[in-house]
Structure 1
């Protein structure tokens, strides 16, 4: 029997995905960063036909260079900021990832965070659990902000951005978007200036790509434009928002609040954010549903199967 392709797995994946990978391929795990990894790559780097990774782990130019026989990369996730696609292309290595299958869940999460911070749901939960609602002489719970008929600004109108925009129709919201260029065929109004979008919006949802080109795109000026009655939601990458500027804006109540699923230095969350009531914090779980993760795992397998069958990858970066 011909030998099965040998793949280097850079990070732990879904157990179901790992089992299915092991049924078809010979899998080796990459050791943690440090001397052990360097020794492993020096001794065995030439053995591998491909890389299985994730958006959180990626594959940098050094790792790709350490695998001279690698012919394919299949990544679990849509983020490419930790995956050196240019280095892979220079070697003629196709890169597979898992777009589309997580659009709905990320859009759902964006609206979950939006509703949570606007209607103060986590704060209300704490209020009830602490017995403050039923306490004698209890003060009334603070008013929230209505979501329906609000103005929704979307930063980045890719696949997920468009899904979020469609969700907004159910809330009768007015939608505008900002991206580097207007999106052909988009039914929503394009705003070429991010500051103007922030000034207009009640809710600013960030769903643009990460990486150096968008680092701190949402800075103090954008937050000030959003203003004390505006809310920020980030389901993109933590680096897109200047976290220090956001902390200061929340602390000084220069914006109404924020809903965050991502952070600059995950899994570390600044203590200042943890201490604030006007921010809702989630542990990067926008795509974390059983259905979506299984679909993402299947796409990882489909990309690999197509490559080794000599066919185009279903989802190539």
Structure 2
């Protein structure tokens, strides 16, 4: 999921999908000038294991790291991430990447108010859970062209209905909830499942699957 968050960010910055569409349609590069990832401020919302791994990847590209989470993690601090309020992260970040679980507290965490705080041209990435971001508020911001977004999750799993409010909007790159789905991760999950059964039978602590 961390790699997909990075990939969606690069697509939004460098217009990779739009460039493919242009070439396939027999067109050139007009209007497709991109932006570089290096030097951007990345806001990580939720600094658990996945959020920290995402921060680590962005740091490798020369990004400044800020974040918001209910608790501070030493690994995030070691990466140079500076914790701020949610409002500060939304105002200061060039890219906001969401990595929180879905709980009563995080449902609608990124709504109209938070999206309004974002600078023009900011990229919102969500590879966590769809309902963490309010769909209607995001749709309005995309229609107005104020921000870009890369989404792997929605408030319902794809295939989405034809009248879904985010379909066909500009400045949006979507994938159909595939963040967890790689050959390597499925193999690791299988191995971990068997190791957990063995650990449980032996009265040992089991591993958490991410």
Same fold at TM > 0.5: yes
Residue 153 of structure 2 is matched in structure 1 by 262
Distance 2:92 2:138 in 1: 19
1:153 to 43, 65, 70: 43
Residue 67 of structure 2 is matched in structure 1 by 177
Aligned pair count?
206
Pick closer, same or farther for the CA change 1:246–1:297 going to 2, 3 Å: same
Structure 1 position 252, deviation (Å): 1.0
Deviation readout 1:7-34 (Å, 9 max, x if unpaired): xxxxxxxxxxxxxxxxxxxxxxxxxxxx
Structure 1 position 175, deviation (Å): 0.7
2:7 to 87, 92, 112: 112
Structure 1 position 145, deviation (Å): 2.3
On the 8 A contact 1:247/1:272 being kept in 2, the answer is yes
Deviation readout 1:84-106 (Å, 9 max, x if unpaired): xxxxxxxxxxxxxxxxxxxxxx2
SS across alignment from 1:258: strand
On the 8 A contact 2:66/2:84 being kept in 1, the answer is no
On the 8 A contact 1:180/1:192 being kept in 2, the answer is no
Distance 1:271 1:265 in 2: 10
On the 8 A contact 1:182/1:190 being kept in 2, the answer is no
SS across alignment from 2:197: helix
On the 8 A contact 1:228/1:254 being kept in 2, the answer is yes
Residue 204 of structure 2 is matched in structure 1 by 311
Structure 1 position 288, deviation (Å): 1.3
Runs of 4+ residues deviating >6 angstroms = none
Distance 1:243 1:189 in 2: 28
On the 8 A contact 2:123/2:149 being kept in 1, the answer is yes
Deviation readout 1:252-290 (Å, 9 max, x if unpaired): 1122x0000111111253633221231100011112111
Residue 91 of structure 2 is matched in structure 1 by 199
Distance 1:210 1:297 in 2: 24
Residue 59 of structure 1 is matched in structure 2 by none
- Structure 2 gaps of 5+ residues are none
Deviation readout 1:38-62 (Å, 9 max, x if unpaired): xxxxxxxxxxxxxxxxxxxxxxxxx
Residue 144 of structure 1 is matched in structure 2 by 34
TM-score computed with the length of structure 2 as normaliser: 0.90
Pick closer, same or farther for the CA change 1:287–1:150 going to 2, 3 Å: same
SS across alignment from 2:121: coil
TM-score computed with the length of structure 1 as normaliser: 0.61
Pick closer, same or farther for the CA change 1:299–1:200 going to 2, 3 Å: same
Structure 1 position 155, deviation (Å): 0.4
Structure 1 position 305, deviation (Å): 2.4
Distance 1:170 1:190 in 2: 16
1:216-231 mapped onto 2 (5 Å cutoff): 216-231=108-123
- Structure 1 gaps of 5+ residues are 1-105, 134-138
Q: Does 1:210 align with 2:105?
A: no
Distance 1:298 1:201 in 2: 38
